[in-house]
């Protein structure tokens, strides 16, 4: 029996458009080697900063409706000099994440063979965690405003409010516990800053403590984010599933990917765990204007992201094959310059596809 999965592809800006084809190459190779069991069909959407410059829109007004019917969305990156970052991010990536209530953002970090970590003592055993980032509210709820410009230059006022709802906290915390149940260490660490942010984050803490009682098999910790930043560096082996608010999860996942060797290997999934809407899969990194157009962007993040997409589609064996092909490639020393190698984006993509 053959299954065709329909994937909406939004390559976006900068290196997003360079690494996304490498992810699709891997999907195509999986299909080719599946003996007719698997197929992927793609529809490409030209949304991004160039589109905005031409049309004034980051994505079409009916964008969400057009994406709704797909099995998954595969996303490159968005953002380009000349377009304000808050316009590009809110107009496309956040519009999709929030529009589809993809409330769980999942960001795994593992040390790959042949990829040196900047941490002296890091090994594949000590660096292996998943950041579970709340992806629908918190500090990125978009609540606030700017006003009082009439007071004159230098006196404008801006308010940016974080939104924490009991439902929002509970569903992401529950997701983290369910995920921890599938992992050998079975540990969830909650990260807040509730000493300083005494309303939203204490609500989060209380919900965490309550949900934890339903998972007696999982060990738990509650940490403040500043201390957690240090712990990522000093005691990475003590981390398993780390659940954090939208902003803290965003920052900690970049820190985590740097510990794993480079932003160029960090994968991410924006999930609607209830599957009411398509989920969106993207590398953690942005459009990297500083290296765009040179053919040297690391495609591993985009390809690892494909493994997350396959897991979500219920294809765990294919996901494992992709991870094994990534590991065989990095282990053979085929690396882009961000990891100290000389391979191009396509060299790495082809090497991974060839190992499938
Ligand atoms: P960035 O992630 O694009 O780049 C940060 C640094 O990491 C740069 O020096 C870049 O060269 C390097 N890097 C990133 N990905 C790499 C890869 N695959 N291979 C090799 N090196 C890599 O973050 P930055 O510079 O802060 O943002 C650039 C633009 O991207 C901005 O417009 C920002 O708003 C946007 N952005 C978009 C995101 C998204 O679409 N999900 C996420 C983060 C930033
Ligand atoms: Mg980020």
Q: How far apart are the first and last CA of the chain?
A: 21
Our answer on whether the CB atom of 11 is closer than 6 Å to any ligand 1 atom is no
268 CA: nearest ligand 1 atom? 41
Task: Supply the angle between the helices 345-354 and 316-331 in degrees, to the nearest 10.
Answer: 120
Report whether 47 contacts 8 (CB < 8 A).
no
How many whole angstroms separate alpha carbon 308 and alpha carbon 328? 18
Phi, psi of 28 (to 5 degrees): -60, -40
How many whole angstroms separate alpha carbon 69 and alpha carbon 88? 24
| pLDDT tens-digit map of 99-112 | 999 999 999 999 99
What's residue 1's pLDDT?
55
Average pLDDT over residues 305-309: 98
- The gap from C-alpha 31 to its chain's centroid, in whole angstroms, comes to 24
How many whole angstroms separate alpha carbon 126 and alpha carbon 129? 9
**Could you give the percent of the chain with pLDDT greater than 70?**
100
User: Which ligand lies nearest the alpha carbon of 94?
Assistant: 1
How confident is residue 121, by pLDDT bands cut at 50, 70 and 90? confident
pLDDT at 58 over 80: yes
Cβ atoms within 10 A of the Cβ of 231, count?
Answer: 17
What's residue 347's pLDDT?
98
Residue in 159, 241, 245 with CA at minimum distance from that of residue 200: 245
Q: Where are the alpha helices (DSSP H) in the chain?
A: 16-32, 49-55, 63-67, 85-88, 94-99, 166-181, 200-212, 225-234, 246-259, 300-312, 316-331, 345-354
Whole-number Å distance, alpha carbon 291 to ligand 1 midpoint, is 9
How many whole angstroms separate alpha carbon 239 and alpha carbon 59? 38
Per-residue tokens: 235 = 């005691």
How many whole angstroms separate alpha carbon 169 and alpha carbon 134? 8
Whole-number Å distance, alpha carbon 259 to ligand 2 midpoint, is 15
What's residue 154's pLDDT?
82
**Worst-scoring range by mean pLDDT, 29-38, 83-92, 116-125, 178-187?**
116-125
Per-residue tokens: 279 = 């989920």
Q: Please identify which residue in the block is written with the tokens 């992992």.
A: 183
Whole-number Å distance, alpha carbon 35 to ligand 1 midpoint, is 37
Nearest-CA residue for atom 25 of ligand 1: 288
What's residue 79's pLDDT?
96
How many whole angstroms separate alpha carbon 189 and alpha carbon 239? 7
Q: Map residue 198 onto helix, strand or coil.
A: coil
What's residue 152's pLDDT?
78
CATH no. for 117-260:
3.40.718.10
User: Which ligand lies nearest the alpha carbon of 15?
Assistant: 1
Q: Map residue 252 onto helix, strand or coil.
A: helix
Whole-number Å distance, alpha carbon 285 to ligand 2 midpoint, is 7
Residue in 191, 131, 197 with CA at minimum distance from that of residue 162: 197
| pLDDT tens-digit map of 165-178 | 999 999 999 999 99
Our answer on whether the CB atom of 7 is closer than 6 Å to any ligand 1 atom is no
Listed in sequence order, the residues at least 6 apart from 207 whose beta carbon sits closer than 8 Å to its beta carbon are 166, 169, 170, 173
User: Which ligand lies nearest the alpha carbon of 10?
Assistant: 1
User: Which ligand lies nearest the alpha carbon of 258?
Assistant: 1
For the chain, the average pLDDT equals 95
Our answer on whether the CB atom of 263 is closer than 6 Å to any ligand 1 atom is yes
Per-residue tokens: 341 = 């190698």
Q: Give the global pTM.
A: 0.95
Report whether 14 contacts 292 (CB < 8 A).
yes
Q: How many helices (H) and strands (E) does the chain have?
A: 12, 12
What class is the 1-103+263-356 domain? alpha beta
Report whether 222 contacts 208 (CB < 8 A).
yes
| pLDDT tens-digit map of 313-344 | 999 999 999 999 999 999 999 999 999 999 99
Pairing of strands 128-134, 241-244: parallel
Residue in 21, 12, 9, 8 with CA at minimum distance from that of residue 79: 12
Whole-number Å distance, alpha carbon 280 to ligand 2 midpoint, is 15
302 CA: nearest ligand 1 atom? 18
Query: Which residues of the chain form CATH 3.40.718.10?
Result: 1-103+263-356, 117-260
């Amino acid at each position: 029996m053959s299954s065709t999965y329909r994937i909406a592809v939004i390559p976006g800006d900068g290196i997003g458009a360079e690494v996304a084809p490498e992810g699709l190459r891997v999907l195509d190779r999986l299909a080719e080697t599946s003996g007719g069991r698997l197929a992927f069909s793609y529809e490409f959407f030209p949304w991004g900063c160039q589109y905005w410059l031409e049309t004034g829109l980051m994505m079409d007004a009916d964008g969400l409706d057009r994406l709704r019917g797909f099995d998954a969305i595969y996303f490159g990156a968005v953002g380009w000099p000349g377009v304000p970052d808050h316009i590009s991010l809110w107009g496309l990536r956040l519009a999709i994440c929030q529009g589809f209530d993809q409330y769980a953002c999942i960001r795994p970090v593992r040390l790959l063979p042949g990829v040196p970590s900047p941490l002296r003592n890091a090994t594949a055993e000590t660096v292996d965690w998943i950041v579970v980032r709340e992806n629908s509210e918190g500090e990125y709820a978009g609540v606030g405003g700017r006003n009082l410009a009439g007071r004159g230059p230098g006196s404008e006022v801006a308010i940016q409010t974080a939104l924490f709802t009991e439902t929002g906290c509970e569903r992401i915390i529950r997701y983290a516990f369910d995920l921890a149940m599938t992992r050998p260490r079975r540990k969830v660490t909650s990260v807040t800053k509730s000493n300083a942010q005494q309303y939203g984050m204490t609500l989060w803490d209380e919900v965490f403590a309550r949900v934890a009682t339903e998972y007696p098999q999982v060990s738990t910790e509650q940490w403040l984010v500043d201390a957690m930043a240090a712990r990522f560096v000093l005691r990475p082996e003590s981390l398993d599933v780390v659940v954090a608010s939208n902003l803290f999860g965003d920052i900690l996942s970049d820190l985590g990917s740097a510990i794993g060797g480079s932003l160029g290997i960090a994968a991410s999934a924006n999930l609607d765990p209830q599957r009411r809407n398509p989920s969106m899969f993207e590398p953690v990194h942005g459009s990297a204007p500083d290296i765009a157009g040179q053919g040297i962007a690391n495609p591993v993040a985009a390809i690892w992201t494909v493994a997350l997409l396959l897991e979500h589609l219920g294809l765990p064996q294919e996901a494992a094959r992709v991870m094994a092909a990534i590991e065989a490639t990095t282990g053979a020393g085929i690396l882009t310059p961000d990891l100290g190698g000389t391979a191009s984006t396509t060299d790495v993509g082809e090497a991974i596809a060839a190992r499938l």
